[in-house]
């Protein structure tokens, strides 16, 4: 059985993955400084981050239309779709509607839409896991069952230089953002059933990243069997240092570092780090 993995563009696919037949990226639209950016192969992170920095209006994103997902369903027997948390974006609802319309119009492929309850590194971790299972010949229903179980236990943590974009887009309380920005407090935020909560905090980025390592150590169950995925937004040196610190504290099977694509760059902002395991 042939298979395809479809992800919205917050899945942070690598360039190598985007060139492979089994992957399809469905881009979100991004708006900043009066300009429109498509989160696809044309995305220029440097140009976009500059637009976000100078934007007078609130930078924002728009989820793909159902038709964009439906186009990606063609050409395979089993279709696995991975989207942003339904609590953070309309991407999941759009993909779920695409699935319904596809079958109403006679589409015969198996389609399952995963609500990642995460973003960025978390979505990519699911994409990678689906590919491992599907490429081994595992039946569609078993892949779905295993990945849904993985979503239920997956941990996502992040530390950002600024919480402004998250707060202004309604993803975070205004009080939390103001406290963080005025006192140089950097919260370690976590995904809790798809929503954002504070896990810890520290004054300054370096101390916050140390707190993140402590949280990872507390939350990791059988880390030697798991991959830790990390999305970095324009801060490769910081990400490499964090990878080394995590590796010294917790023995993961593997730690991978991804470059933020458009949606991740919008919400993580310049210097942000998102990890999932």
Tell me, what's the pLDDT at 163? 78
- The upper half-sphere exposure of residue 93, i.e. CA atoms within 13 Å in the direction of its Cβ, equals 7
Measure the CA–CA gap between 154 and 95, rounded to whole angstroms: 22
Which residue spans within the chain are E strands per DSSP? 3-8, 23-26, 29-32, 35-38, 60-62, 78-83, 110-115, 156-159, 185-192, 195-203, 227-232, 254-259, 273-276
Measure the CA–CA gap between 62 and 169, rounded to whole angstroms: 11
Q: Do 135 and 114 contact (CB within 8 A), yes or no?
A: no
In terms of Cβ atoms closer than 10 Å to its own Cβ (0-12, 13-18, 19+), residue 115 is buried
Tell me, what's the pLDDT at 197? 86
Measure the CA–CA gap between 231 and 172, rounded to whole angstroms: 20
Q: Where are the domains of the chain?
A: 3-28+63-151, 156-276
Identify the CA nearest to 242 among candidates 159, 125, 164, 124.
Answer: 159
pLDDT in 10s for each residue of the chain, 277 residues: 899 999 999 999 999 999 999 999 999 999 999 999 999 999 999 999 999 999 999 999 999 999 999 999 989 999 999 999 999 899 999 999 999 999 999 999 999 999 999 999 999 999 999 999 999 999 999 999 999 999 999 999 999 988 777 777 766 655 455 555 566 789 999 998 878 888 998 999 999 999 999 999 999 999 999 999 999 999 999 999 999 999 999 999 999 999 999 999 999 999 999 999 9
Tell me, what's the pLDDT at 175? 44
**Could you give the C-alpha distances from 197 to 10, 173, 191, 193, in angstroms and in order?**
20, 10, 6, 10
User: Is 156-276 a CATH 3.30.1180.10 domain?
Assistant: yes
In terms of Cβ atoms closer than 10 Å to its own Cβ (0-12, 13-18, 19+), residue 91 is buried
Tokens (6 digits) for 118: 């995460």
pTM, two decimals, is 0.92
Q: Look at the domain 3-28+63-151 and name its fold.
A: Rossmann fold (3.40.50)
Measure the CA–CA gap between 10 and 163, rounded to whole angstroms: 18
Which residues lie across from 8 on neighbouring strands? 26
Helix (H, G, I), strand (E, B) or coil at 33: coil
Tell me, what's the pLDDT at 164? 76
Tell me, what's the pLDDT at 47? 97
Q: Do 232 and 258 contact (CB within 8 A), yes or no?
A: yes
Tell me, what's the pLDDT at 166? 76
Identify the CA nearest to 99 among candidates 116, 117, 114, 111.
Answer: 111
The C-alpha angle with vertex 25 and arms to 21 and 28, in degrees rounded to 5, equals 170
Tell me, what's the pLDDT at 179? 54
Provide the pairing of β-strand 23-26 with 227-232: unpaired
Which residues lie across from 7 on neighbouring strands? 25, 82
Measure the CA–CA gap between 98 and 71, rounded to whole angstroms: 9
Identify the CA nearest to 153 among candidates 193, 120, 124.
Answer: 193
């Amino acid at each position: 059985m042939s298979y395809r993995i479809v992800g919205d563009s917050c899945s942070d696919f690598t360039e190598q993955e985007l060139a492979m037949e089994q992957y399809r990226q469905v881009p979100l639209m991004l708006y900043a400084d009066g300009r429109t950016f498509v989160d696809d192969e044309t995305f220029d992170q440097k140009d976009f981050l500059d637009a976000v920095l100078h934007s007078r209006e609130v930078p924002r994103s728009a989820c793909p239309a159902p038709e964009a997902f439906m186009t990606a369903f063609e050409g395979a027997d089993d279709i696995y779709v991975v989207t942003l948390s339904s609590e953070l974006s309309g991407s999941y609802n759009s993909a779920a509607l695409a699935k319904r319309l596809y079958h109403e119009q006679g589409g015969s492929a198996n389609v399952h839409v995963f609500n990642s309850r995460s973003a960025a590194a978390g979505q990519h971790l699911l994409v990678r896991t689906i590919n491992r299972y599907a490429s081994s010949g595992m039946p569609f229903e078993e892949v779905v069952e295993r990945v849904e179980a993985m979503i239920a236990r997956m941990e996502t943590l992040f530390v950002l230089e600024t919480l402004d974009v998250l707060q202004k887009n309604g993803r975070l309380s205004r009080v939390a953002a103001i406290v963080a920005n005025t006192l140089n407090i950097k919260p370690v935020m976590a995904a809790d059933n798809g929503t954002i909560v504070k896990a810890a905090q520290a004054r300054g980025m370096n101390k916050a990243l140390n707190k993140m390592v402590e949280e990872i150590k507390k939350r990791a169950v059988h880390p030697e069997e798991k991959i830790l995925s990390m999305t970095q937004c324009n801060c490769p040196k910081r990400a490499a240092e964090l990878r080394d610190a995590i590796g010294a504290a917790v023995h993961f099977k593997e730690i991978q570092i991804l470059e933020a694509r458009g949606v991740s760059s919008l919400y993580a902002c310049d210097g942000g780090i998102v990890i999932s395991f």
